Amino acid sequence: MGGRDLAQIVAGSAAPKTVPALLARNAAQFGSKAAYREKEFGIWQSWTWAETAAEIEAIAIGLLALGAEKGDHIAVIGRNRPALYWSMVAAMKIGAVPVPLYQDAVAEEMAYVLDHSGARFAICGDQEQVDKVIEVQETVHQIEHILYLDARGLRKYDHTKMHALADVKAEGRAAHDRFEKELAAREASLKYDDTCVMLYTSGTTGKPKGVVLSNQNVIETAKNSSEFDDLRPSDEILAYLPMAWVGDFIFSIGQAFWTGFCVNCPESADTMMTDLREIGPTYYFAPPRVFETQLTNVMIRMEDSGRFKKRMFDKYMAHAKRVGPDILDGKPVSAGDKLKYWIGDKLIYGPLKNTLGFSRVRVGYTAGEAIGPEIFDFYRSLGINLKQLYGQTEATVFITAQPDGQVRADTVGVPSPGVEIKIHDNGEIFYRSPGTFVEYYKNPESTADTKDPEGWVATGDAGFFEEGTGHLRIIDRAKDVGQMADGSLFAPKYVENKLKFYPDILETVVFGNGRNRCTAFINIDLTAVGNWAERNNIAYASYQELAGHPRVLDTIQSHVETVNASVAEDPMLSGCQIHRFLILHKELDADDGEMTRTRKVRRKIIEEKFSDLIGALYDGSDDIYTETEVTYEDGRKGKITATLQIRDAAVTVDTAHTRVAAE
């Protein structure tokens, strides 16, 4: 592998050591090739690499004219738009550090990051972001200039310290001669290990941390990952994920600048699906949720289609499911099956992929959380090369990724090029790579906690390498992984994810840490189960009544037993099979403190609050009466009472596990 065009270029000169140097190379090498596109006013506007370089230079000089210093932090806030990407590179060019922020953050959240980064400049997409920065300015005083892209609604604002980006650019062009030398000097002074960008973590545990990435981090990672997937200058991506997220930075700037491919920005958040289809990206990334939603939409529309179409769809999708992934992986498939798949491609898969915007996808990735095997296989069976990767901001994304031809739903692949991985005794994954971050900004304690002097970084995730294939499998957050009474591994999230892949199950909490066997609470999904009840003429008056219906319990029991069988296949984790379960009489809710606002279960609180129910799961009783306090949306409190049935689920006895237990 390895881009042929790229090899020639690199051979011609020393490989550029900064992003602005890559820009100069691209402007010279692919000057007339499209670098960025954006749909605006109903038309895809595009900029070549030469034009992009000119735009970036104009912004850079404009920033110089406004007094931006080397080492300044420049916040960039807005949806994915070429001008904002250019602003980031312009900041790098003048020796400043771009800090992209999440555009949906509220003003208070933004205040912390703007204050912590010490940004003197904020470049905003539109009025909404400008308003937030102005609000933040009341408490954070070091922000001197606000620049904005979309002037709409900003006419009446005080413009003494506020500038339209278009004006800054115009000023940059006008002042070209005056600042040319200064700009060249600043650019020349940039070094390989200078800071390239600072990205804030989402801060699920405590305050967000500013992850400092050097030019080396970004460029080596971009190089390695581009070669790993054979990315080419002719590739196209759609930039629609938050600019503040490390993945978008690496795809839309790192790899785009390294490889020279084209970054396409959608017209608006609402038109993303249409734009995806119009562009037909060849390299595509989406979190599992996006794939899930698209699949659901397809299925709902197929249910509504005519009988003939529906039957044809079912028949060929069944065939695709059987042979599609093998064909994609290049495994041997009989000629008859190949022919049938070819016909299916003409009739079903091709048009479907076209509708989804995936006709041209050569490399697709999903990451962030576990993806349901069903969903994963659906896309792969259509011939879409969807793969998984595992990464984090501190690693400049890539820790592991799946090579072509070795793709499975339950692993995250092999270590990416240049990445070393070791696994601690407690199962925690550590890595060391060229992408390993420099430091957390102004936070040496956290840096020392996360990264040891030899450069090993703790991921906080527990996992193991699969024997034979060498693929990494993530089982849980390391702090949630425990041990059962017999010493075998307890990984609740691993089992919970498997259960949650069933549309009927919305949420689940698995118990078993320090105990001799596992049990579970289950929340049904009211929409899915309600639909099922309607189709089966089951009447119910409330969530509680539906949750307690014997036939619902039967269905859930069968899901639990299937999951048990699948968990048992894994000798290390077979102790995590669920022996007994109950369906909760209420949905776990953030208002009641049972979940975080981002819908992650809070185990401690649930264990305390429902200790009576956990007791019943372990004392062998068939049902239990309980009273639970609930908080309504308006803050009032109430109480619900229920008698919950407890079911036993069949478990698969595994010889390997008994052996471990006997030790």
Partner 1 sequence: MNQMKVEPYVTADGRTIGDVMMEMRNITLRFGGVVAIKDISFDIREGEIRAIIGPNGAGKSSMLNVISGFYHPQEGEVWYHGKRRPSMRPYQVARQGIARTFQNIALFDGMSVLDNIMTGRLNHMTSSFLDQAIWWGKAQREEVNHRAKAEEIIDFLEIQAIRKTPVGRLPYGLKKRVELARALVAEPKLLLLDEPMAGMNVEEKEDMSRFILDVNDEYGTTIALIEHDMGVVMDLSDRVVVMDYGKKIGDGTPDEVRTNQEVIDAYLGVSHD
Q: How far is the CB of 274 from partner 1 (least distance, A)?
A: 7
Instruction: Find the shortest distance in angstroms from Cβ 539 to partner 1.
Output: 31
Asked if 155 is part of the footprint of partner 1 (rule: CB under 8 A), the reply reads yes
Tell me the β-bridge partners of 364.
284, 386
The residues with which 605 forms a beta bridge, in sequence order, are: none
Question: Under the criterion CB under 8 A, does residue 41 sit at the interface with partner 1?
Answer: yes
- Strand residue runs (E) in 411-471: 414-415, 420-423, 428-432, 439-440, 457-465
Cross-sheet strand order for the sheet of 457-465 = 420-423, 428-432, 457-465, 472-477
Check binding of 268 to partner 1 (CB under 8 A).
Answer: yes
Q: Which is nearer to partner 1, 42 or 638 (CB)?
A: 42
Q: Point out which span in 116-124, 178-186, 265-273, 543-551 binds partner 1 (CB under 8 A).
A: 265-273
Taking the complex as a whole, the smallest distance from the CB of residue 243 to partner 1 amounts, in Å, to 20
Reading the block at residue 116, the tokens are 């912590």
- For partner 1, the closer of residues 230 and 278 by Cβ is 278
Give, as one character, the DSSP assignment of residue 270: G
- By CB under 8 A, is residue 278 in contact with partner 1? no
Assess contact for 572 and 464: CB atoms under 8 A: yes
Kindly tell me which residue out of 271, 305, 469, 621 binds partner 1, with binding defined by CB under 8 A.
Answer: 271
Binder of partner 1 out of 4, 141, 152, 535 (CB under 8 A): 152
Residues of this chain, 70-109, that bind partner 1 according to CB under 8 A: none
Q: Find the shortest distance in angstroms from Cβ 244 to partner 1.
A: 22
State the Cα angle at 418 between 416 and 424, rounded to 5°. Answer: 75
**Which position has the token pair 């199962």?**
427
- Piece in contact with partner 1 (CB under 8 A), picked from 232-240, 268-276, 468-476, 527-535: 268-276
416 by DSSP, 3-state: which? coil
Q: Which residues, in sequence order, are CB contacts of 20 under 8 Å at separation 6+? A: 56, 89, 92, 93, 187, 190
Closest distance of CB 236 from partner 1, Å: 20
Minimum distance from residue 549 beta carbon to partner 1 (Å): 35
Compute the distance between CA of residue 491 and CA of residue 507 in angstroms, rounded to an integer. Answer: 16
Yes or no: say if 508 and 500 are a contact pair by the CB < 8 Å rule: yes
C-alpha 268/C-alpha 266 separation (Å) is: 6
Residue 153 touches partner 1, criterion: CB under 8 A: yes
Give the shortest CB-209-to-partner 1 separation in angstroms: 34
Report how far residue 88's alpha carbon sits from residue 620's, in angstroms, rounded to the nearest whole number: 61
- Secondary structure (3-state) at 287: coil
Work out how close the CB of 154 gets to partner 1 at its nearest, in angstroms, rounded to a whole number: 9
Q: Which of 471, 470, 396, 5 is nearest to 230 (CA)?
A: 5
Strand order, beta sheet including 505-511: 505-511, 518-524, 578-583, 637-648, 623-631
From 150-158, 371-379, 392-400, 473-481, give the range in contact with partner 1 by CB under 8 A: 150-158
* Binding status of residue 274 toward partner 1 by CB under 8 A: yes
In the complex with partner 1, which residue's Cβ is closer, 155 or 307?
155
Which of 1, 13, 28, 40 touches partner 1 (CB under 8 A)?
40
Decide if residue 180 touches partner 1 (CB under 8 A): no
Structure tokens that stand for 387 in this block: 């793969």
Pairing verdict, β 397-401 and 121-124: unpaired
Is residue 270 within the footprint of partner 1 (CB under 8 A)?
Answer: yes
Site for partner 1 in 396-425 (CB under 8 A): none
Q: Rule CB under 8 A: is residue 141 a binding residue for partner 1?
A: no
Supply the minimum distance, in Å, between the C-beta of residue 38 and partner 1.
Answer: 12
Is position 45 an interface residue for partner 1 (rule: CB under 8 A)?
A: no
Work out how close the CB of 543 gets to partner 1 at its nearest, in angstroms, rounded to a whole number: 25
CB closer to partner 1, 128 vs 227: 128
Per CB under 8 A, 545 contacts partner 1:
no
* Nearest distance in Å: CB 540, partner 1: 29
∠617-620-625 over CA atoms, to 5°? Answer: 60
Q: Which stretch binds partner 1 (CB under 8 A): 178-186, 270-278, 406-414, 602-610?
A: 270-278
Residue 636 binding partner 1, by CB under 8 A: no
Q: Which of residues 422-441 bind partner 1 (CB under 8 A)?
A: none
- The Cα–Cα gap between 313 and 308 comes to 9
Q: Which is nearer to partner 1, 131 or 648 (CB)?
A: 131
Q: Looking at 4, 11, 12, 42, which residue binds partner 1 (CB under 8 A)?
A: 42
User: Cβ 272 to partner 1, closest distance in Å?
Assistant: 9
Between the CA of residue 423 and those of 15, 257, 265, 478, what are the distances in Å? 34, 34, 39, 11
Q: Does 267 sit near partner 1 (CB under 8 A)?
A: yes
Give CA–CA dist 341/350, Å, rounded. 11
DSSP H helices in 261-306 = 272-279, 288-303
Q: Please report whether residue 297 would count as binding partner 1 according to CB under 8 A.
A: no
Nearest to partner 1 of 39, 319 (CB atom): 39
DSSP, residue by residue, 524-584: E-HHHHHHHHHHTT---SSHHHHHT-HHHHHHHHHHHHHHHHHHHTSGGGGGG-EEEEEE-
Q: How far is the CB of 97 from partner 1 (least distance, A)?
A: 32
How many residues of this chain interact with partner 1, rule: CB under 8 A? 13
Asked if 452 is part of the footprint of partner 1 (rule: CB under 8 A), the reply reads: no
* 156 near partner 1, judged by CB under 8 A: yes
Nearer to partner 1, 2 or 153 (CB): 153
Closest CA to 600 of 496, 495, 464: 496
SS3 string of 433-444?
CCCCCCEECCCH
Residues that bind partner 1 (CB under 8 A): 40-43, 152-153, 155-156, 267-268, 270-271, 274
